[in-house]
Amino acid sequence: MGNRLVARDLINIGVFTAVYFVIIFGSAFVGVIAPWAMFVGFFIGILLGGPVLVLLAVRSPAFGTMTLTGLLIALLMVLTGHFWGLLIIAPLLGLAFDAIRPRERRADQGQ
């Protein structure tokens, strides 16, 4: 079976990507208050979004999890009017994370 993405991983990626998108998109609305509040929104997004990605990384250790998550987040951000370069940058950063991250065997993979 190896370290491939399975159906459970794809479901986890979808759920955690949705939660992460709502958190970072919602925290960006803090910037509507005043220009200085935009930086507060960034900080809130990092504090609340980071644990979501860490939970995804722990729950789905297969290679490609963060690459696919980065691609989905980039697609959602571009569809909501953000910089098109995210379609290149976010999956590359996810791939870098997948490449350097240590792997563990899952209990359902056996020996």
pLDDT tens digit string along 43-81? 999 999 999 999 999 999 899 999 999 999 999 999 999
Provide the 8-state DSSP code for 22: H
9-22 exposure pattern, b = at least 16 Cβ within 10 A, e = fewer = beebbeebbebbbe
Residue 56: helix, strand or coil by DSSP?
helix
- Predicted local confidence at residue 102, as pLDDT: 79
**Beta-carbon neighbour count of residue 55 at 10 Å?**
14
